[in-house]
Amino acid sequence: MQLSTIKTTISAASIWIDFKEITKMGLSISVVFSSIAGYFLGADIVNIKTLALLAIGGYFMVGASNAFNQVIEKDLDALMDRTKNRPIPAGRMSVTTAFIIAVLFTLAGIITLYTINPKTAMYGAISIFIYTCMYTPLKTKTPIAVFVGAIPGAIPFMLGWVAARGDFGIEPGTLFAIQFFWQFPHFWAIGWFLHDDYKKGGFFMLPTGKPDKATAVQIIMYTIWTLIASIIPVFGFTGDLKLSIVGAIIVFLLGLVMVYYALQLFKLRTPKAAKQLMLSSVTYITLLQIVYVADKFLS
């Protein structure tokens, strides 16, 4: 293989890696998974075209938010170990290039979601606005940023339902509530085990500003609220969003696992315990969405 060919291959691979980094591909795909789960819950008949548009549009929207975030936080990212090798602070991508990607992704996302229905596009646009213009700048000013960030973080699950039905009601509102409450133990756990690194960038991620007993108590409270919100559909007052007794029991048991790790964090107050809670929270929300969908089609 000629040297020029090797260089071209390496360059193409590097560009692809940086593209994945600037749009946070792994996170974006997990968000798309939430939207698809919400769509399956809301759809009477699954439309493959709508599903594809939701997945593509959803990826564009999340990718745009992440790209805007990295443009705004480029100087702070350079200060933290976990982010200093991102494309912009590492010097592999210019701010202009990242900004163009963010703008193009925003436009492509809104247009794609609009072809499903206007409300899906509206909620997608609201998500980008809150994440970029409110959550991102607040992270260096107040712990309330996590509350603000929980809003766009909770939109994907309910966005799928809105894509299926074209309207907002008690059903997508319940899906929003589940993922909204879930954001707190999830991100506070991350803020706990990355506390020292976040301090380098001046981020306020924990409710008390530090990994202490009071923070652990709030994590337990929101974990319990997450569990309660997750089983509400079994009681029959969430419209077309239903959950069988068997489904509710499974979700409840899964939730108890997350509660256990929240209690362990209160007891141990170590970065390791926080990381275990974070991993259990990711497992919980993923399995919850699978259980909800399976329960709908198997009940």
Q: What is the dihedral of CA 35, 181, 183, 163, to 10 degrees?
A: 10
User: Of 163, 162, 157, which Cα lies nearest the Cα of 176?
Assistant: 157
The answer to whether 281 touches 227, Cβ cutoff 8 Å, is: no
Instruction: Determine the pLDDT at residue 269.
Output: 95
Instruction: Determine the pLDDT at residue 12.
Output: 65
Instruction: Determine the pLDDT at residue 14.
Output: 78
Which segments of 115-169 does DSSP mark as H helices, in order? 118-129, 136-138, 144-165
DSSP letter (8 states) at residue 132: I
The answer to whether 131 touches 152, Cβ cutoff 8 Å, is: yes
**How confident is the chain (299 residues) per 10-residue block, as mean pLDDT?**
51 78 86 95 93 95 94 91 88 91 95 96 95 93 92 94 94 97 96 92 89 96 97 95 96 97 97 97 96 93
Choices 1.10.10.60, 3.50.50.60, 1.10.357.140, 3.40.50.300: CATH for 7-168: 1.10.357.140
